Amino acid sequence: MSGFVVWIAVTLAVVVAGILIARLAMGWWRHRGDRLITCPENLRPAAVRVDARHAAASSLLHAPDLRLSTCSRWPEKGACGQECLSQIAGAPEECLVRNILNQWYAGKVCSSCGRPFGNIEWNTVKPAFRSADKLTVEWKQVPVADLPEVLKTALPVCFACHMASTLVREHPELAIDRSRRTFI
């Protein structure tokens, strides 16, 4: 009988550990990533990151305790009260940069080739944009706090067109411009 009790205890411990690990992972996943908020002090966009590990660990027994790990206004304003966290707590998905960009691309077509943007895979083929100076740019090159201003004038560009544009710009000796081809 004691072997059965030990088996039950071990099984129960494994199940509880699995649940705790799953809750930690889900909490971390939910709170990771760059976010764009409006700074309560100056009412301007700011880029922030939630301390995802702390939020996940604190969410095991109660609502997560949110705190920032980075802010684009730090270190100058590092001693702020982090009042912006209420924006994240109130709309955590709406301020995620990847969701803001997904929404911006929704229903648009590539400004170079005309292909529509479907579901965007941010881990593989990331779309880019054409800036006001006609260059294609990757989103990671744009400071998150500048995102609202860039989105006003940018044009969407698919990954393939961005790569082609980058090749022509960085290695013109490897590209052939067939549009200037003369026929005899």
- At 81-134, the pLDDT tens digits run 888 999 888 888 899 999 999 999 999 999 999 999 988 888 888 899 998 888
- The more confidently predicted of residues 134 and 179 is 134
Sort strands 136-138 and 128-130 into parallel, antiparallel or unpaired: antiparallel
Q: Residues 53, 58, 62, CA angle at the centre, nearest 5°?
A: 145
- Give percent above pLDDT 90 in the chain: 36
pLDDT tens, 146-175?
999 999 999 999 999 999 998 888 888 877
**pLDDT score recorded for residue 27:** 76
Average pLDDT, the chain: 86
- The more confidently predicted of residues 172 and 179 is 172
At 181, list the tokens: 């081809």
Q: How far is CA 131 from CA 136, 139, 150, in A?
A: 6, 11, 8
- Half-sphere exposure at residue 13, Cβ-oriented, CA atoms within 13 angstroms: 6
User: Residue 78 burial by CB count (10 A; 0-12/13-18/19+): exposed, middle or buried?
Assistant: exposed
**pLDDT score recorded for residue 181:** 55
| CA distance linking residue 28 with residue 51, whole number of Å | 9
**What one-character DSSP code corresponds to residue 117?**
P
Helix or strand run (H / E) with residue 13: helix 2-31
- Residues 82, 55 contacting (CB under 8 angstroms): no
At 47, list the tokens: 């880029």
Closest CA to 113 of 128, 132, 98, 133: 128
**pLDDT score recorded for residue 162:** 93
**pLDDT score recorded for residue 174:** 78
